[in-house]
A and B are shown apart, each in its own frame.
Chain A
Amino acid sequence: MNGNGHSPVEGAAPVPGEGEIRIGVYVCHCGSNIAGTVDVVEVARWAAEALKDQGVVVAREYKFMCSSPGQELITDDIRNLGLNRIVVAACSPHLHENTFRTATARAGLNPYLCELVSVREQDSWVHTDRAAATAKAKAILAGGVERVRRNAPLDAITVDINPATLVVGGGIAGIQAALEIADAGFPVYLVEKDPSIGGHMAQFDKTFPTLDCAACILTPRMVSAGTHPNITLMTWSEVTHVDGFVGNFTATIRKKARYVDADLCTGCGVCAEKCPKKVIDEVYEAGLGYRKAIYTPFDQAVPRTPVIDRENCTYFEKGTCKACEKFCEADAIRFDQQDEEVTIKVGNIIMATGYELFDARRIAQYGYGRLPNVFTSLEFERLSNSAGPTNGRIVLRDGVTEPKTVGVIHCVGSRDRNFNNYCSAICCMQSLKFAHLVKEHTGATVYNFYIDMRTTAKAYDEFYQRVMEEGTLFVRGKPAEVTEAGRLPGEEGKIIVQVEDTLAGRQRRIPVDMVVLSVGLQPRADAKELATRLGISCSSDGWAIEKHPKLDPVATMTEGVFIAGCVSGPKDIPSSVAQGAAAAARVLGRIQQKQMNLEPIKASVHPDNCSGCRICNTMCPYNAISFLEAEGVSSINAAMCQGCGTCVAACPAGAISGTGFSNEQVLAQIEGLLMVGSDGTPLKRAVFPEAHPHGNGHRQPDAVEEAVQA
């Protein structure tokens, strides 16, 4: 028999009390993908016969159900046979559920009355025994049939979209996203926790592989963002609270006191110049340089408005000084300024909060913090930056000596079971960049210690070739130790990198003057907290989780909240920028639609049955459940509900029901799945002995009689 077996097996089955349920069953061969292991013809025949009482009126098999003729089988049957439920046994619903639901809708039936059950991914592809696979296919199909009987027609839920967008994080990804949306004509609130936007990129000197000057390419974007009429820039600010749901979020933002009136400040910089208090700049200069107690982090900062570092300000410490105030011509200094909370309403949120660097001190054997001439990658960026503390001179910690030999260690804190398992994606390229810069600036000998070299993006490998050609020495192996304890000739006064050269197959001790640790990226310490505030989820590492890692990388499980850049994992600049733009595009799509449809998989409370016990109140991570004090019942905001169903399962009164995955549907599916045993015959239930029908059960424990008589 082949896939053209069109002859349907008829059989009407009115279901008492439910109106007549008329189910059409369609079993797909998927070429030989399913039919090769599952006897699909038998499955269809069985369904028509054994599931008649369940309301199956027609069961067909076809070579490719997803093809146009396959879909037409369904639409024709709906029209001609009056079907009101459809079950397709084919591939995973993640692949074709939409296909068949759309087809169902085309024929005028509510799409949610169609179920797709997987007999390919869950059956034919993973089993070899044809009989067992066929029996399982029957069970899966019966589960779908029982389930679809309880499916209710559902309508999508529509919400209005507020055109404003909140972008959290003013790094390159956030800036890009903000600009894209603002340029399209919609308002954006760009919130940055630091005094200036720019993010990590603003600290870099050159960018790989093109070696453009980071500041040169970033600054214009920062300026655009700072001056764009559609962008409300909120630096030195944090998002403290988010309420609401897609289209209708309310965010509370705390603007920390700058002690400077931003409206009056001209950004002349004289305050910082006159400020007597010098402070080591741990943030922007990575501890290599100084700033003042009143400062803008760097010259190109946007906005130019400085902030007073209250911890270090002499006035705040001792009550006198006010040098800045004295010299400010604009009278912009405001020592009495307070933190301020503002509330904004937005339709969508883009989270672009970036990353932080792995703390190299955690790997004690690399000596960072102990050995002066072990530097982190960020320190090196500052050293090599012409605007940095050494004006671009690459020197040892003493500030004068140029290194003769430099070792760059890759994968510090990355691809390391003790710290982070993942690859930080950018370290290979940044290490190559460092090698190049060292060569360029000092002509020193450079060793790069790597595990694997990953140069996958455009022009990356070419850069690698170039660096090799420049004479950088590559040692494949993860250094075991970096030490000052020289014991061989030539090691004195050097720092020694102890490494197993896995290509040479031997231990090597390489004396160098300077070690640069190419530290990995990790989620910001407060990432989970912020994610929770926004109702999105994080992996156990702390990286935000995409709605789909491949197909929907900038969306999250929470409608209306998007992610861009390193918040979801390490990325280079081009990827971060691309994600910023992509997230913006997703948001713009939403805004243009003005409204959007939400999946109607929602929970709702039946107030008559709700006792107000408040068990469910803590179930919802999206705060969709609220307790109505006056009525004494809990209530679910459908638009905020993401449909996970946790509250449905938690309600002790059974007062919460969930559409799409109702108790009735799941319980029916269980019954269906257990209709057939492993051998394809009806599954034997555990049956209790019959209660004696006539009460005349003088079953006689003979032993008792004997015992008694004995």
Chain B
Amino acid sequence: MERITIDPVTRLEGHGKIEIFLDPDGEVANAYFQIPELRGFERFCVGRPVEEMPTLTNRICGVCPEAHHMASAKAADAVYNVDPPRTAKLLRELLYSAFYVTDHTTHFYALGGPDFVVGPDAPAAERNILGVLAKVGMEVGGQVIQARKNGHNVIEMIGGRKIHPATAVPGGMTHGITEEQRAEIEKIGRWSIDFAQFSLGIFDQIVLANDAYKDMVLSDGYTQRTYYMGLIDPNGKVNFYDGRVGIMSPEGTRVGTYAPAEYRDWIAEHVEPWTYLKFPYLKKVGWQGFVDGVDSGVYAATPLSRLNAADGMATPLAQAAYERFYATLAPRPEAGGKRIVHHQLATHWARLVELLYAAERMVELATDPEITSPHVRTVPTETPNEGVGVVEAPRGTLTHHYKTDERGLLTAVNLIVGTTNNYAPMSMSIKKAAESLIHKGTVVHQGLLNRVEMAFRLYDPCFGCATHSLPGEMPLQVAIRDSEGRVIEVLSQNC
């Protein structure tokens, strides 16, 4: 095949590249979604003290540092085999729930949601927060900002800082909260429940009431039958902070659950030499390439996946929303007995269900009688060794695995982070979008971009996390090459 010299202009576009190759007939031969950076946390964390990992791994991602902080603290607990006092766990989960409220709000209103709220056919320039405000009213903008501020305030109260919290340590937390803070957090939690319900209302009103949108959600182009992953509590309900990881087959069968320490029995990461990011898949099913179905180990770990992987929500309002979600989108159970939603665009709705759960959970935690106890630390007594910590990050199941020497200095680190889980399904979505819109060398420019964007944004990809390298929301470039490898089209859009 002819060797291509890359034109400097296109090479500049950087950050998340999609290369689409056409065959001699002008049909899509293949699409490659490349992640162009790596930072090497797994290498340079070796030698560091394990108690520093919650703050070091924060810096993997500035969008979801709280997730890394928690997964890391849990892995560090496990390394020391120490059980933090109940209050410490409550505080961690409280911080984490507040973070979920903030993060899901931001995504729905500012990042991914506008596609829906403003409408997929609207010009790209309007599909942003300003477009949302134009459609649903300016006062919502104030509420969105308020939700973000609220969340960050709670994070600062418990975590010490708004971004990159600092207070989770092996065995618990560095400090507790006062009654005044607790009351403030409870207030914020109650406000957040209202806000989440309001948001679900917007979704109802704008998306579900619109048949065109609904058809799009249910359309084949946005349907992928993969496995689903999500953390569940002992009752099988969605949990963000703790539990076992549940795996649901595309056919609605729970193929199993695993404790964090068992992750290697379930997950492996496939390597391709054309990208810095790896492709996790279910080890027991195996890597069959970029295909879906029950025989392919490709899985997704998104809000939708979590709902699919669980049996319900642990709070009443969220449970009601959950039931309505399945009643609307999956009227019939799968062969395995569980109702599964395979329509990826439903992820946005699932995200709002989770938003409501997170808000309710905040109130539950903030009203727990032990939340203000000063006893927030168990001093480890055992020799540190090895541990795995898992939390459910907004963008997917997050696994931190540490091994240390007897002084608690890391000798090995393995990280499987949120977005990475979805690298394969995302790549597949992109290829699918390309295939549906490129025929005989003809490219539907705007349509392609829209499709790619929407397929992409619903995962809320955070490649800062995934590659341990890039900024949270990535600019995207699509290059289309003919069979000779020549670039025939470069499309660039922010995703």
A contact residues vs B (CB 8 Å cutoff): 695-696, 704, 708
Give 5 closest A-B pairs by Cβ, nearest first.
Answer: A708-B273, A704-B273, A696-B8, A695-B11, A696-B11
Q: How far is the CA of A695 from the CA of B8 in the complex (A)?
A: 10
Q: Which A-chain residue is minimally distant from B272 (CB atoms)?
A: A708
Given the complex, which residues of B lie within 8 Å of A696, measured CB to CB?
8, 11
Q: Which A-chain residue is minimally distant from B5 (CB atoms)?
A: A698
5 A-B contacts, Cβ less than 8 Å apart? A695-B11, A696-B8, A696-B11, A704-B273, A708-B273
Shortest distance in angstroms between B13's beta carbon and chain A's nearest beta carbon? 13
Q: List residues of B (272-308) whose CB comes within 8 Å of A's CBs.
A: 273
Q: Which B-chain residue is minimally distant from A704 (CB atoms)?
A: B273
Interface digits, B1-17 against A, CB 8 Å rule (1 contact, 0 not)? Answer: 00000001001000000
Q: Which B-chain residue is minimally distant from A707 (CB atoms)?
A: B273
Q: How far is the CA of A708 from the CA of B273 in the complex (A)?
A: 8
Given the complex, which residues of A lie within 8 Å of B8, measured CB to CB?
696
Shortest distance in angstroms between A705's beta carbon and chain B's nearest beta carbon? 9
Q: How far is the CA of A432 from the CA of B11 in the complex (A)?
A: 98
Q: How far is the CA of A695 from the CA of B273 in the complex (A)?
A: 20
Q: List residues of B (1-41) whose CB comes within 8 Å of A's CBs.
A: 8, 11
Shortest distance in angstroms between B202's beta carbon and chain A's nearest beta carbon? 44
Given the complex, which residues of A lie within 8 Å of B273, measured CB to CB?
704, 708
Given the complex, which residues of B lie within 8 Å of A708, measured CB to CB?
273
Shortest distance in angstroms between A655's beta carbon and chain B's nearest beta carbon? 26
Q: Which A-chain residue is minimally distant from B274 (CB atoms)?
A: A708
Shortest distance in angstroms between A699's beta carbon and chain B's nearest beta carbon? 15
Shortest distance in angstroms between B275's beta carbon and chain A's nearest beta carbon? 13
Shortest distance in angstroms between B271's beta carbon and chain A's nearest beta carbon? 10
Q: How far is the CA of A695 from the CA of B10 in the complex (A)?
A: 13
Given the complex, which residues of B lie within 8 Å of A695, measured CB to CB?
11
Q: List residues of B (234-292) whose CB comes within 8 Å of A's CBs.
A: 273
Q: How far is the CA of A696 from the CA of B273 in the complex (A)?
A: 19
Q: Which A-chain residue is minimally distant from B8 (CB atoms)?
A: A696
Q: How far is the CA of A704 from the CA of B8 in the complex (A)?
A: 24
Given the complex, which residues of A lie within 8 Å of B11, measured CB to CB?
695-696
Q: How far is the CA of A696 from the CA of B5 in the complex (A)?
A: 11
Q: Which A-chain residue is minimally distant from B12 (CB atoms)?
A: A695
Interface digits, B381-393 against A, CB 8 Å rule (1 contact, 0 not)? Answer: 0000000000000
Shortest distance in angstroms between A696's beta carbon and chain B's nearest beta carbon? 7
Q: How far is the CA of A696 from the CA of B11 in the complex (A)?
A: 9
Q: Which B-chain residue is minimally distant from A694 (CB atoms)?
A: B8
Q: How far is the CA of A696 from the CA of B8 in the complex (A)?
A: 8
Q: How far is the CA of A708 from the CA of B275 in the complex (A)?
A: 13
Q: How far is the CA of A708 from the CA of B8 in the complex (A)?
A: 26
Q: How far is the CA of A12 from the CA of B492 in the complex (A)?
A: 57
Shortest distance in angstroms between B285's beta carbon and chain A's nearest beta carbon? 25
Q: How far is the CA of A695 from the CA of B36 in the complex (A)?
A: 14
Shortest distance in angstroms between B255's beta carbon and chain A's nearest beta carbon? 33
Shortest distance in angstroms between B11's beta carbon and chain A's nearest beta carbon? 8
Shortest distance in angstroms between B3's beta carbon and chain A's nearest beta carbon? 11
Q: Which B-chain residue is minimally distant from A698 (CB atoms)?
A: B6
Shortest distance in angstroms between A707's beta carbon and chain B's nearest beta carbon? 8
Q: How far is the CA of A704 from the CA of B273 in the complex (A)?
A: 8
Given the complex, which residues of B lie within 8 Å of A704, measured CB to CB?
273
Shortest distance in angstroms between B98's beta carbon and chain A's nearest beta carbon? 32
Q: List residues of B (384-424) whose CB comes within 8 Å of A's CBs.
A: none
Shortest distance in angstroms between B214's beta carbon and chain A's nearest beta carbon? 45
Q: Which B-chain residue is minimally distant from A705 (CB atoms)?
A: B273
Q: How far is the CA of A704 from the CA of B271 in the complex (A)?
A: 13
Q: How far is the CA of A469 from the CA of B465 in the complex (A)?
A: 99
Q: Which A-chain residue is minimally distant from B273 (CB atoms)?
A: A708
Shortest distance in angstroms between A221's beta carbon and chain B's nearest beta carbon? 66
Q: How far is the CA of A695 from the CA of B11 in the complex (A)?
A: 10
Q: How far is the CA of A229 from the CA of B11 in the complex (A)?
A: 96
Shortest distance in angstroms between A286's beta carbon and chain B's nearest beta carbon? 58
Shortest distance in angstroms between B9's beta carbon and chain A's nearest beta carbon? 12
Shortest distance in angstroms between A704's beta carbon and chain B's nearest beta carbon? 7
Shortest distance in angstroms between B389's beta carbon and chain A's nearest beta carbon? 33
Q: Which B-chain residue is minimally distant from A695 (CB atoms)?
A: B11
Q: How far is the CA of A704 from the CA of B272 in the complex (A)?
A: 12
Q: How far is the CA of A695 from the CA of B6 in the complex (A)?
A: 12
Q: How far is the CA of A34 from the CA of B368 in the complex (A)?
A: 84
Q: How far is the CA of A704 from the CA of B274 in the complex (A)?
A: 11
